[in-house]
Amino acid sequence: MRCPFCRNADSRVVDSREVDEGQVIRRRRSCSSCGRRFTTVEEAVLAVVKRSGVTEPFSRDKVVNGVRRACQGRPVDEDALQQLAHRVEESIRSGGNAEIPSHEVGLAILGPLRDLDEVAYLRFASVYRSFSSVEDFEKEIADLRTAQRTDD
């Protein structure tokens, strides 16, 4: 990692701390040439395998963008979307796999989104699970009602 100020290749770690419950390590470094300090972030890569077989790094932004569309006109603010993406990432990482199929990202979104906003959840689920009829919605809504009763 080169110093962002003078491009020198050598630096010394002066402090190192875990964030996000140890999923990320942040290191404070001191450049051995110009003496300035900078921070680096180290994180295990979580890869999403698309249906085509292509892999790409998991992105919270993508989760947020996908969910934001379903939340249009709903009382869901940006903070709530960020929190949801965080929960999705945590649940995926807790599975312990370095690579996950993209449809599992969708699955991991469903639970937190249901907690957040049921209308947005129905919209998202209808696309994600390719609802093809009114019956599909009816069934999903019936499941929601059952879940509400169990929550009480």
CB of 19 to Zn ion, least distance (A): 24
Please identify, using beta-carbon distances, which residue of 3 and 92 lies nearer to Zn ion: 3
Q: Which of residues 2-41 bind Zn ion (CB under 5 A)?
A: 3, 5-6, 8, 31, 33-34
Taking the CB of residue 126, how many other CB atoms lie within 10 A of it?
15
Q: Cβ contacts of residue 119 below 8 Å, gap of 6+? A: 74
Task: Write the single-letter amino acid at 145.
Answer: R
**Residue pair 92/46 in contact by the 8 Å Cβ criterion:** yes
- The smaller minimum CB distance to Zn ion, of residues 8 and 83, is found at 8
Which amino acid is residue 85, in one-letter code? Answer: A
How would DSSP label each residue in 75-114? S--HHHHHHHHHHHHHHHHHTT-SEEEHHHHHHHHHHHHH
Report whether 66 contacts 38 (CB < 8 A).
no
Which helix (H) or strand (E) segment holds residue 62: the answer is helix 60-70
Tell me which residues in 71-110 interact with Zn ion (CB under 5 A): none
- Min dist CB 31 to Zn ion, Å, is 3
Least distance in angstroms from the C-beta of 8 to Zn ion: 4
Closer of 34 and 98 to Zn ion (Cβ): 34
113 binds Zn ion (CB under 5 A): no
Residue 1 binds Zn ion, judged by CB under 5 A: no
Q: Which stretch binds Zn ion (CB under 5 A): 1-9, 75-83, 121-129, 143-151?
A: 1-9
Q: What is the size of the binding site for Zn ion (CB under 5 A)?
A: 7
Residues forming contacts to Zn ion in the complex (CB under 5 A) are 3, 5-6, 8, 31, 33-34
